[in-house]
Amino acid sequence: MSLSESPFRCCLLGPLFSLGSALIFPSYWFLDRFLSVVVVTSVERSQGVAVRIVCLLGAPLFLLLFAISLPLAVMGLLLWVPLHQVRRPFCYQRSSSSRVYTGAKVHGPRTFTIISANLCLLPDGLARFSNLGHTQWRSDLIAQLLVAPQEPAKNKTGDADAASVCSAEDVLTVVESVAEEETGPSGDGGFPGQVAVTFPPDADFLCLQEVFDGRASRRLRHVLASSFPHVLYDVGPAGPYNCGFRFFNSGLFLASRHPPVAAKYYCYPNARGEDALAAKGLLCVKVLVGVSEEKQRIVGYINCTHLHAPEEDADIRCDQMTLLLQWISEFQSQNSEGEIVAFDVLCGDLNFDNCSPDDCLEQKHELFSVYTDPCRGRAGQERRGTVGTLLRQELLYHEAVKTPENLRRTLLSDGERKTYVAAPLPQDVDEDEPWWTGRRIDYILYRKSLSVLPAVVEKFQFVTQLAGLSDHIPISLHISVTVPSLPHCE
């Protein structure tokens, strides 16, 4: 049985929720525009006087329009807030192009490919605090690049300012010109690590973080639908929660080629500071990936999360990891029906790395005894071939990192990597180590246990295709499992 597409049990509540959102939108947009002219990116700052003139003219105007629109927003909140309390904490989109299983039986190994990426698709004004603007333009281009290996993406140059940040034409040229992936330095112990220019063309799942903006989410869903017929979005309970108010959902977004048969969202109760504004948590999804010759279902578990961000709050992140292990166990015990489990993966932005002394508590957490990290040698030491996934925000538009090919060369260079990848914490840590990775805070982990089919990691990729479009390096895991029989499915 697949998920219901409506997040409400009563069909009348959906239109009311949409009406409330529509009434809030003008105030949201004017406030976002106000921040967009006040907070400038490094590219705009280099334009000098022109930017200051726009700020002087635009800021008072958008602030005035925001004040005028507030009565509408208050009316919208009177509908939006109570409906959030009865709404399922995620929405499900099933594309009309999705097909059911053909019933064909396939024996032997099967590879599943998972991509995880933090896209920083916040409202435009907030994204600028990370030196990233033009959220709508970026979301459209990112979506095209995610499906470009499967189908040609159309050129889109966007606004003149956006094009000066990262030309869509330049990025899409890379997709068409790179015929095969380029492999990075060989890892220790046979670690199949690669730095690839393009996303893998055969991805089964996209696990995305920081898709906070509703219009950006809509653009992603529209473009991805042709390749990923199942999408879970708008994940997390906004509104009043746990003696506070969540202005944003979790930002999690899951796109799948395989139908979800169960899903549940768990919200972290211990957020603090700016992270308390978003309903961060854990999304657990059970997907149907095949049927054996004996007609036994073959399923997989995808768990996606985004942990607490402030660097000094290691205790909060450790508590969240303890909770997510409990929740995953609870979800799987409640939804297990004696199927064959092909894989169990956990992915997302964990906001700590495996090389910083300041992150030693998180590095030693029980999580890493339950799930295997392909990039990790041991606590505090990465495997050779691993590179950091967090870029220095102030340098995002330097020539060395603003195109996919340049970013790949930079990641493969010991000296350049130290310049453009975020440094371990504290920043005065000794950098004279044999293989300096920088901060890798994006993870795809997989479980080895008797209840899951034996898995082999075929490839682990650090993908540079979003150069200039995000401050994170996307990652992908290619994991091979041998199942009794597995039909082709979409």
pLDDT of 407-421, one tens digit each? Answer: 999 999 988 999 999
Q: How far is CA 198 from the centre of its chain?
A: 17
pLDDT at 115: 98
pLDDT tens digits for range 269-321? 998 888 999 999 999 999 999 887 778 889 999 999 999 999 999 999 999 99
List, in sequence order, every beta strand (DSSP E) within 307-383. 340-349, 371-372, 376-378, 381-382
**Could you give the angle at which helices 135-147 and 168-177 cross, rounded to 10 degrees?**
10
52 versus 325: which is more confidently predicted?
Answer: 325
Tell me the percentage of the chain whose pLDDT exceeds 90: 66
At 444, the pLDDT band (50, 70, 90 cuts) reads very high
pLDDT over 60 at 171, yes or no? no
pTM: 0.89
Helix (H, G, I), strand (E, B) or coil at 490: coil
pLDDT at 483: 73
pLDDT tens digits for range 353-365? 999 999 999 999 9
**Cα–Cα dist 203/147, whole Å:** 9
pLDDT over 70 at 85, yes or no? yes
**Any residues with CB less than 8 A from the CB of 414 and at least 6 apart, and which?**
435, 436
Q: What is the DSSP string of 178-205?
A: --SPPP-SPPGGG--EEEESS--TT-SE
**Cα–Cα dist 400/74, whole Å:** 47
**Cα–Cα dist 344/453, whole Å:** 9
Closest-CA residue to 88 (of 208, 219, 221, 234) = 234
Closest-CA residue to 131 (of 421, 440, 392) = 392
List, in sequence order, every beta strand (DSSP E) within 268-339. 281-291, 297-306
Q: For residues 344-376, b (16+ Cβ closer than 10 Å) or e, as one string?
A: bbbbbbbbbbbbbebbeebbebebbebbebbbb
Q: What share of the chain is helix, strand, coil (3-state, %, to 5)?
A: 35, 25, 40
pLDDT over 70 at 368, yes or no? yes
Which residue numbers are catalytic? 472
Q: Which residue has the tokens 């979005």?
A: 233
Q: Is it true that the peptide bond before 201 is cis, omega within 30 degrees of 0?
A: no
Tokens standing for residue 185: 């330095």
pLDDT at 243: 60
Length of the chain equals 490
pLDDT over 50 at 155, yes or no? no
Bridge pairing between strands 205-211 and 108-121 = parallel
**Cα–Cα dist 184/10, whole Å:** 53
Structural domains of the chain, ranges and CATH numbers in brackets: 13-86 (no CATH), 91-483 (3.60.10.10)
pLDDT at 189: 56
At 181, the pLDDT band (50, 70, 90 cuts) reads very low
pLDDT at 54: 74
The mean pLDDT value for 29-44 works out to 91
Helix (H, G, I), strand (E, B) or coil at 399: coil
The mean pLDDT value for 42-55 works out to 77
